[in-house]
Amino acid sequence: MAGKTLEQSFQMIYLDQRGSGRSASDPAKNYAIERLVQDLEDVRQQLGLEKWVVMSHSFGGIIATAYASKYPERVQGLVLANSILNLPASMESTATNGYKLLPEASRPPLDPAAPLPQRFGMVMGLLGQQGLMNKFMYANDSTPAHLNRAMKGVPANRDFATTLFQGPAIQGYVQDMTPGTAALKMPVLVIAGRDDYMVGPDHHKSFRFPSLQVVEVPGKHYSLLENPTEVKQALAAFVKKLPRKA
């Protein structure tokens, strides 16, 4: 397994959600979570798959879990890699721990009583201004350059993210989804970075999936890129145990 890409070991299907990456924007700016969940189901139907393993990263955990909640009979397994299920909790982790990364001599005071969006936006802005965002997100200094090479020339639509945080659609994404995970009975694999403070290294401890396996790996927010061997081993063991049709 070591040294092989995920594509050499699994059949991978990648989806750029509407308004993101290589996908077109929604003409009506409809980025409600219900619309994105239906997009996933539309893709499954178009591919003619009876069931599939749904895998998410970061913010995608919200969408993947919402999909699994609406279409549990279509999800053979759920993989949550560095995934968020409670956006306000992860924003709190980012604001608190990102602030600690800022040089003490140059950082402004942070009012803990200020609204979370205000604190989150301030810290994210300062991390960007001071060139510390990469240090916050990546464990390896070489990862950003690797990503830049891989994405060179690839369209990067950001309409979903821009629209989401400026309009009412965000309301569907800020609910705490962890209580509802207790009702999702499909096998679930969580891959968590021990120093992923963008999500929160203990975020997965609030998940209540009845059939849950957690694999903690060294590193930060991009385990899929920076811990490929551990991730592939965990995926292989997880997929091997998934129930098969008779």
Alpha-carbon span 129 to 185, nearest angstrom: 44
pLDDT of residue 2: 38
Chain mean pLDDT for the chain: 93
pLDDT of residue 6: 83
Q: Report if residue 26 sits inside a domain.
A: yes
Total domains present in the chain = 2
Do both 31 and 70 map to the same domain? yes
Do both 161 and 236 map to the same domain? yes
Q: CATH number, domain at 57? A: 3.40.50.1820
pLDDT of residue 164: 87
Final residue before a domain boundary, out of 105, 137, 169: 137
Do both 75 and 179 map to the same domain? yes
At 49-105, the pLDDT tens digits run: 999 999 999 999 999 999 999 999 999 999 999 999 999 999 999 999 999 999 999
Put simply, whether the predicted model's pTM sits higher than 0.85 gets the answer yes
Mean pLDDT of 181-195: 98
Please check the confidence at residue 246 and state whether its pLDDT lies above 70: no
At 6-30, the pLDDT tens digits run: 888 899 999 999 999 999 999 999 9
pLDDT of residue 1: 31
Q: What is the domain extent for residue 130?
A: 88-137
Task: Copy the structure tokens of residue 223.
Answer: 């385990």
Q: Report residue 48's pLDDT band, with 50, 70 and 90 as the boundaries.
A: very high
Do both 163 and 230 map to the same domain? yes
Do both 206 and 171 map to the same domain? yes
Do both 74 and 92 map to the same domain? no
pLDDT of residue 171: 86
Do both 71 and 167 map to the same domain? yes
Q: Report if residue 148 sits inside a domain.
A: no
Q: Report if residue 72 sits inside a domain.
A: yes
Going from the C-alpha of 179 to that of each of 64, 129, 153, 197, 224, the distances in angstroms are 15, 37, 41, 22, 26
Percent of the chain with pLDDT over 70: 98
